[in-house]
Amino acid sequence: MAHPVLARPHTVSSYDLQLAEVRAIINRLAEQAQAILSGGLDALLKGDALAAGEIVAADKAIDALERELERLALHIIMSRAPMAQDLRYLIGAIRIGKMLERTGDQGKRMARRIDQFDLRAIGPRFPVLRQMERFAGAMLADAIEAFNRGSGPAARKVIEADAQLNAMHQSLMLACRDAMDRGELASADGIQLVLLAKQLERVGDYATNIAGDVAYMLEGA
C-alpha cells in the first residue's frame, strides 16, 4: 500500500514527480538521522573521539537535506496551489523533516559528550541506553513506514509505543538516583546518564509527532 497522495495520478506528471521527490528526501533524512543517533551512542560506548567528530560533521548533511525538503515543499505549494490532502501532505512533510533534523541533533549532542564521560563508571549502564536507542530508532522507522504506506493504524501503533519508551526512561532515572544515593555512582556521571536518557526519550517524542503528522495527512486531524 502506498500513500494515497502518491498512489493517485495527477493531471500533470511533473507534479507527481515532485511529490515523489518529497517522499524520497524524507526517507533519506530518516536513514541518515537513525545512523547518526546510533553512531553517536557507539562513539560514547567506545570512547572513540574520531568517530564522535565524524558524527558531529555528518549532522550538517542532515541540516542541508532538511532545508532542501522545506524549499521543495514550499515551491510546490506556491507553484501548484494544492488543495485538501495534497496540501496536508506537503505541510506534514515539512513538519516531518523538522523532526528528523532534530533526531540528528540528538545524535550529534550525544557524540559531543565524549569528553564528559567516565566510561568505567558509566559503561555497565550502557545496555539500558542502548535498549532505549534501539526502541526509539524502531519507533522512528515505524513512523516513516506509516508515512510511506499512508497507514493510520500503523501511525497509531507508534503513538501507543511512546508510553513504553517513557517507562524505560523513568526506570533508568530512578536507577541513577538510587545509585547516586548509595554512593555507587558519582553525581556528575549520574547527571550525564540522565541527560542521555532524556535525549533518547525525546527521539521517541519526535517519532510520535511524525505519526501524528501522518494521521493529519490522512484524516485532516
Query: In this structure, what CATH number is given to the domain that contains residue 141?
Result: 1.20.58.220
Contact 192/116 with Cβ under 8 angstroms? yes
Instruction: Give the Cα separation of 80 and 63 in Å (integer).
Output: 26
Range of the domain at 19: 8-219
pLDDT at position 5 is: 57
Query: Going by C-beta distance under 8 Å and a sequence separation of 6 or more, which residues neighbour residue 3?
Result: 23, 89, 147, 148, 149, 150, 217
Task: Answer yes or no: is 206 within a domain.
Answer: yes
Task: Answer yes or no: is 215 within a domain.
Answer: yes
pLDDT band at 23 (very low <50, low <70, confident <90, very high): very high
Pairwise pLDDT comparison (49 vs 124), residue with the higher score: 49
At 181-218, the pLDDT tens digits run 888 888 888 888 889 999 999 999 999 999 999 998 88
Domain count, the chain: 1
pLDDT band at 4 (very low <50, low <70, confident <90, very high): low
Task: Answer yes or no: is 2 within a domain.
Answer: no
